Amino acid sequence: MIIQINEELRTYIDPLSADEYAALERSLLAEGCRDALVLWGDVLVDGHNRYELCRKHGIEFKTVQNTRFTSLDDVRLWMIENHLGRRSVSDFQRGVLALRKKEILQARKQAQAQQAAPDAGQGGAPQPAEPAPVPSRQALARAARVSSNTLGQIEKIHKAAAPELVRAVKAGDISINAAAAVAALPAEQQVAAAAEGRKALRELARQARQAKAGSRNEAGAAPAAGDAAEADIIEDYPAEVARLRRLVAALTEERDALKKKVMHLTVALAEARNND
């Protein structure tokens, strides 16, 4: 069958990094394409990278139809839920996906309200099914496995950050917390700091926090403990604990990998010395 590529769906989720793409390619060459590509009619919904690599290397693949989709919004919501469950997705990416879900559900609710208004005078007109409710921030944060406070910071970045600042967050050059502070500044300052790199971004975040704390003090607000460091109030402790546990697990895995690398290098060095 002919598979159609919808460019919007292909780019709806952040692309794999070069390392992730190379790892997927190695896996497909070694083990074949184990997971079926998901289609909506002839439109590819999930598996764009696998499809591209399978065609490149002549690897066989299977497809499966998702018959529950009735619109592109259904497809987008499914893609969001699918990626929120993946471990490799960063906190920032999960937060952005959760916000996209919120926007879709809000738009559906508004559209139905507008449609219901003209039909109100037609007593016999059938009422459309109730759309899914728009989740609260805490519910969205739990689904994204971040704290409610972190999701609020991601929303600030999503709405106000220059593209250069967003790329810096994705690259790990600046934390979500610091980027939210920088996003409140004029776009030209964001762009200039992002061009200079990590150190400039952190300095700009520090200046933004100090300016915010100063304006609070001038307004007569009592500074909170640790306000100079922009200490955040945690609204959803379970989500924050889960995020910290994932961070600890990732750092532990990285530490163990470095230990193994050091061990292999030590053995190789010893063998080289013995051969000399």
Confidence at residue 250, expressed as pLDDT on a 0 to 100 scale: 75
Helix (H, G, I), strand (E, B) or coil at 33: coil
What is the per-residue pLDDT across 68-125, written as a single tens digit (0 to 9) for each?
999 999 999 999 999 988 877 889 999 999 999 999 999 998 888 887 766 655 655 5
Q: How far apart are CA 115 and CA 129, in angstroms?
A: 12
What is the per-residue pLDDT across 229-238, written as a single tens digit (0 to 9) for each?
444 445 556 6
* Under 8 Å between Cβ of 45 and 76: no
Confidence at residue 249, expressed as pLDDT on a 0 to 100 scale: 78
Whether residue 19 is predicted with pLDDT greater than 60 in this model: the reply is: yes
> What percent of the chain has pLDDT above 90?
55
Confidence at residue 227, expressed as pLDDT on a 0 to 100 scale: 43
> What percent of the chain has pLDDT above 70?
84
Residue owning tokens 């184990």: 34
198-227: average pLDDT: 75
Confidence at residue 271, expressed as pLDDT on a 0 to 100 scale: 77
DSSP 39-64: EETTEEEE-HHHHHHHHHHT----EE
Whether residue 224 is predicted with pLDDT greater than 50 in this model: the reply is: no
Residue owning tokens 């299977």: 62
Q: How far apart are CA 158 and CA 166, in angstroms?
A: 8
Confidence at residue 236, expressed as pLDDT on a 0 to 100 scale: 55
Distance of CA 221 to the CA centre of its chain: 34
What is the per-residue pLDDT across 146-201, written as a single tens digit (0 to 9) for each?
989 999 999 999 999 999 999 999 998 999 999 999 999 999 999 999 999 999 99
Q: What angle do CA 144, 181, 178 make, to 5 degrees?
A: 65
Confidence at residue 231, expressed as pLDDT on a 0 to 100 scale: 44
Helix (H, G, I), strand (E, B) or coil at 230: coil
Who has greater pLDDT, 111 or 23?
A: 23
At 269, the pLDDT band (50, 70, 90 cuts) reads: confident
50 closest CA partner among 70, 69, 32: 32
At 248, the pLDDT band (50, 70, 90 cuts) reads: confident
What is the per-residue pLDDT across 28-74, written as a single tens digit (0 to 9) for each?
999 999 999 999 999 999 999 999 999 999 999 999 999 999 999 99
* Under 8 Å between Cβ of 107 and 72: no
Who has greater pLDDT, 241 or 219?
A: 241
